[in-house]
Every structure is written in structure tokens, then in C-alpha cells.
Amino acid sequence: AQKVTQAQTEISVVEKEDVTLDCVYETRDTTYYLFWYKQPPSGELVFLIRRNSFDEQNEISGRYSWNFQKSTSSFNFTITASQVVDSAVYFCALMSGANSKLTFGKGITLSVRP
């Protein structure tokens, strides 16, 4: 069975603070894929990143960075110098096994205050 846990439910920060969103996953498969999606107040789901289980390199894209650690089954997401526009719900998701199904975590609501 596959499972994604996002233990933080709500985070509130002041603009320009750094913030890390945690994601812990469970799967018995050796090949799997991890994703982060953003859901702004407008409601759409925006793809942020995809990482496969064989690539543990950390990734940086502008103010966003991701830390993938197989040893702790974690795929954490850091926003540096947060902005009000970063306010959204962020979902971590897992795809593993023969199925193409995405299993989502419950999401983390991030509020960035001016």
C-alpha cells in the first residue's frame, strides 16, 4: 500500500521568511515517483516538481528547493524568502507500482502575511 503523510496542516509566516513543508511517504516498491502540486485560492492544481526514486539530487528552482532523502522516506519542500503569492495549499503525491494512480497527502495550507 502507498501512503503520503503531510503532518503539518496549516503554516503561517510573515513575508520574506523561509518555510519548509514536510512530506513523508510509504511504499514497498523500489521504483516510485514523488510530486508536489500547488493549489492557490483560485482552486486549480499546479504542478511544481516530479522526482523519481533513483534520483536523490536536491533541486532548486528560483526560491523553491526540494530535499529528497530515501533514508527517511521524505521529500521536503522549502520556499525561501516567501511572498504573499505563495499562499496556497501544497500537496505532496506519490505514484508507485504498476498503477498510474497518484496518492495525495492531505495538503498543507500556507499563509504568507505581508
- Residues in contact with other proteins by the rule CB under 8 A: 33, 35, 37, 43-47, 50, 91, 95, 99-102, 104-107
Quick one: 34 or 82, whose CB is closer to other proteins? 34
Quick one: 70 or 113, whose CB is closer to other proteins? 70
CB of 22 to other proteins, least distance (A): 17
Rounded Cα–Cα distance for residues 35 and 82 (Å): 20
CB of 26 to other proteins, least distance (A): 16
Quick one: 19 or 95, whose CB is closer to other proteins? 95
Which residues are CB-neighbours of 42 under 8 A, at least 6 positions away?
A: none
Which residues are CB-neighbours of 71 under 8 A, at least 6 positions away?
A: none
> Does residue 83 sit in helix, strand or coil?
coil
The pair phi, psi for residue 84, each rounded to 5°, is -55, -35
CB of 38 to other proteins, least distance (A): 11
